[in-house]
């Protein structure tokens, strides 16, 4: 990544460019406008396989040579893609076994993307062949800044070849059939395997698939796709060792980004918050914090976002005035060192012709183009923020393994939404204006004062020990219901619910008691507790909870659990564990989180009115305070420091009132009094 930063210092600006969709006379106009907009990097060739290799083994790089040279002559670098995300029609026609098969056994056709079988030797061979051709041809081109491997990997396959690969993966994982039978619990419903030939990936069955089998198939699919990325990364690094490689993540259930990020030189992410949803920017903030946390706090790239409306939802609302700029700065505020879009010029044809672009169908007179051009030039004023880090004393857990398991079959609540649950817990922290890292329980938890665990249904013995160590060492824990229930094989942890957490929370769940849809139960503070006048509305779920060594913080006030604990607190070692046995309404959950933050002496980054987001990035000498107004009206902030707004150049004094218009942004640089403490973030190692 150091080579990339030397070539492209500062905050990188650009987008996905598809010149093959346009006649050559358009290219020079594109490059002229890119220069006007301050574009410094374009992703090239992402979906160009059919244009680069129109027939098996017949290559045409003439157009790519020409556009790469033209871009570089105008000071624009290239993020060159290996185009394996959309195999060409000839591959499907000549080698139909390269097409993926769905769970029902139907082989996919051509006409979209991601329709490949990741186990196919022919697909793998042809992907590596064109990647080799690209690396050998463009590896020494001065305009090449980085490699873009594939695109948004999200393909699973249920063909016979993947079935064989799944069996091989299981044999490597478990060694013997006896071990697999034990870990999968195949004594249930007479599923015991006596020969490896009987073991298959989870195609449709009558009823539900064994959940342990389904969980392992998710693990297998993530690892199978990652294998493709690693093979291409190694190939590219072998030919171009100084050129970093990435692939672009999106919040995909199939691929464990925690695992994948370890194999990439830089993390890149595609983010498309829905302007029609009021909490979309909170969800985006969580995703950005996740990306920043995947590689220990290192800056990351916003590889794709929309300049305006998208085309994939039922109703595709446009971003209002200033909101595209606001969202772009939000990514930078959460650690991004690149702001990019899909795509540069809006397509005239195809499935995404109504997806917005940096240069819309309406051209230079459109509001979108004017905003895109202004943003690209304005971002240069904050170039010095690049490589600055974020300090966090709070962590929230997001775990793909748990996502696969907790949304599995035959649970007390079969309408469970892990993303929504984590988003609700994160929103309480976001509204509290504290910096947050996103971790798994397999990471080092010692740097944090507060740990929030939303419904961690799947928890290994190692993970529960880590949580216990965190609390005993003085950490403040918030953990919500249906956590610690099963081990890594989706087997119930013995000893009563919540088995992996029972001693940590100091309470025992007699039984789960989900609530009917739309039903609610009032919850109030239990006597003279630290929560004082706490009142909440509970929904969705109730634990029938018996306190053992814990004490109740709040109790149910209606229904068959009246008077029993809904929220408990347990002192363990030097720390405390707060357990939430129901789904509290948003305001109550936020109040509870604030109570825990206060106990841990975790303070907001900066005071600000609700709806004004505050973050901070630091170098060894400077702190950069980001103030982002998501409100529909003005936001007023009384500054607690003196500094300079990098965007306007205005000098600001501590105690001064700063007024931000709706959707406006300020980036205030302040010197650090103690440089030796400046770059000591929890996630910077």
Question: In the beta sheet, which residues pair with residue 148?
Answer: 81, 246
Q: For residue 629, which phi and psi values (nearest 5 degrees)?
A: -95, 100
Give phi and psi for 139, each to the nearest 5. -60, -30
- Supply the DSSP string of 428-487, one letter for each residue: HHHHTT--EEEE-TTS--TT-SEEEE----B--HHHHHHHHHHHHTT-EEEEESS-S-B-
Active-site residue 136, yes or no?
no
The angle formed by the CA atoms of residues 618, 623 and 625, to the nearest 5 degrees, is: 105
Measure CA of the first residue to CA of the last residue in the chain; give whole Å. Answer: 16
DSSP H helices in 139-176: 160-174
Is residue 152 annotated as part of the catalytic site, yes or no?
yes
How many Cβ atoms are within 10 Å of 401's Cβ, its own excluded? 25
Q: Is residue 269 within a helix (H) or strand (E), and if so which, with residue range?
A: strand 268-270
Convert 639-674 to b/e letters by CB count within 10 Å (16 or more is b): bebebbbbbeeeebeeeeebebebbbbbbbbbeeee
Tokens 């199978």 sit on residue: 224
Gap between the Cα atoms of 498 and 495, Å rounded: 8
**Residue 372 tokens, joined:** 């895109």
User: For residue 411, which of 478, 492, 479, 502 has the smallest C-alpha distance?
Assistant: 492
Which residue among the candidates 152, 569, 590, 616 is catalytic per the annotation? 152
Distance CA 1, CA 4 (A): 5
Look-up of token digits 């947050």: 436
Beta strands in 7-133 (DSSP E): 12-17, 41-44, 77-82
Please say whether the beta carbons of 71 and 78 come within 8 A: yes
How buried is 62 (Cβ within 10 angstroms: 0-12 exposed, 13-18 middle, 19+ buried)? exposed
28-31: long-range contacts, CB 8 A cutoff, minimum separation 24: 28/70, 30/344, 30/345, 30/359, 31/70, 31/71, 31/74, 31/76
* Catalytic choice (20, 25, 227, 304): 304
Active site residues: 152, 304
């Amino acid at each position: 990544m150091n080579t990339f930063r030397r070539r492209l210092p500062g905050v990188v600006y650009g987008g996905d460019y598809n010149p093959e969709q346009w006649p050559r006379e358009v290219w020079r106009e594109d490059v002229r406008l890119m220069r006007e907009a301050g574009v410094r990097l374009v992703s090239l060739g992402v979906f160009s396989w059919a244009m680069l290799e129109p027939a098996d083994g017949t290559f045409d790089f003439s157009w790519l040579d020409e556009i790469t040279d033209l871009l570089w002559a105008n000071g624009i670098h290239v993020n060159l893609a290996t185009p394996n995300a959309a195999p060409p029609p000839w591959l499907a026609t000549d080698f139909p076994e390269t097409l993926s098969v769905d769970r029902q056994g139907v082989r996919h056709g051509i006409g979209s993307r991601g329709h490949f079988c990741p186990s196919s030797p022919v697909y793998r061979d042809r992907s590596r062949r064109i990647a080799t051709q690209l690396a050998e041809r463009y590896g020494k081109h001065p305009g090449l800044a980085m490699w873009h491997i594939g695109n948004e990997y999200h393909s699973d396959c249920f063909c016979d070849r993947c079935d064989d690969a799944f069996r091989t993966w299981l044999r490597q994982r478990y060694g013997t059939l006896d071990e697999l039978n034990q870990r999968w619990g195949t004594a249930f419903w007479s599923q015991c395997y006596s020969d490896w030939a009987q073991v298959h990936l989870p195609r449709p069955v009558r009823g539900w698939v064994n959940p342990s089998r389904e969980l392992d198939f998710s693990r297998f699919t993530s690892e199978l796709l990652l294998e493709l990325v690693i093979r291409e990364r190694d190939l590219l690094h072998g030919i171009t060792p100084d050129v970093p490689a990435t692939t672009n993540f999106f919040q995909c259930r199939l691929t464990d980004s925690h695992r994948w990020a370890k194999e990439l030189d830089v993390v890149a992410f595609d983010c498309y918050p829905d302007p029609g949803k009021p909490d979309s920017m909170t969800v985006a903030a969580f995703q950005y914090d996740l990306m920043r946390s995947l590689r220990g706090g290192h800056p990351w790239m916003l590889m794709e976002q929309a300049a305006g409306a998208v085309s994939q939802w039922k109703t595709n609302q446009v971003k209002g005035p200033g909101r595209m700029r606001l969202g772009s700065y939000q990514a930078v505020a959460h650690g991004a060192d690149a702001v990019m879009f899909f795509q540069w010029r809006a397509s005239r044809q195809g499935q995404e012709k109504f997806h917005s672009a940096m240069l819309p169908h309406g051209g230079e007179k459109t509001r979108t183009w004017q905003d895109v051009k202004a943003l690209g030039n304005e971002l240069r004023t904050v170039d010095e923020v690049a490589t600055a880090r974020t300090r966090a004393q709070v962590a929230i857990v997001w775990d793909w393994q748990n996502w696969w398991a907790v949304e599995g079959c035959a649970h007390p609540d079969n309408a469970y939404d892990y993303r929504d649950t984590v988003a609700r817990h994160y929103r309480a922290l976001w509204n509290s204006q504290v910096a947050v890292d996103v971790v798994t329980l397999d990471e080092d938890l010692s740097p944090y004062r507060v740990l929030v665990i939303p419904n961690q249904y799947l928890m290994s013995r190692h993970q529960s020990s880590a949580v216990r160590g965190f609390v005993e060492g003085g950490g403040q824990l918030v953990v919500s219901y249906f956590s610690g229930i099963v081990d890594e094989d989706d087997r119930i942890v013995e000893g009563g619910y919540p088995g992996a957490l029972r001693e940590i929370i100091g309470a025992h769940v007699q039984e789960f008691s989900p609530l009917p849809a739309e039903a609610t139960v009032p919850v109030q503070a239990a006597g003279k507790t630290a929560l004082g006048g706490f009142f909440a509305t509970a929904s969705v779920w109730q634990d029938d909870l018996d306190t053992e060594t814990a004490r109740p913080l709040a109790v149910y006030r209606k229904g068959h659990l009246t008077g029993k604990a809904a929220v408990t607190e347990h002192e363990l070692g030097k720390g405390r564990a707060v357990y939430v046995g129901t789904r509290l309404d948003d305001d109550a959950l936020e109040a509870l989180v604030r109570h825990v933050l206060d106990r841990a002496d975790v303070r907001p980054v900066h005071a600000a009115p609700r709806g004004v987001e505050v973050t901070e990035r630091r170098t060894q000498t400077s702190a950069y305070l980001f103030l982002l107004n998501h409100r529909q009206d003005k936001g007023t902030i009384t500054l607690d420091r003196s500094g300079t707004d990098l965007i306007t150049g205005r000098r600001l004094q501590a105690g001064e009132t700063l007024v931000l218009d709706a959707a406006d942004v300020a980036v205030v640089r302040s010197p650090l009094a103690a440089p030796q403490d400046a770059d000591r973030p929890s996630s910077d190692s």
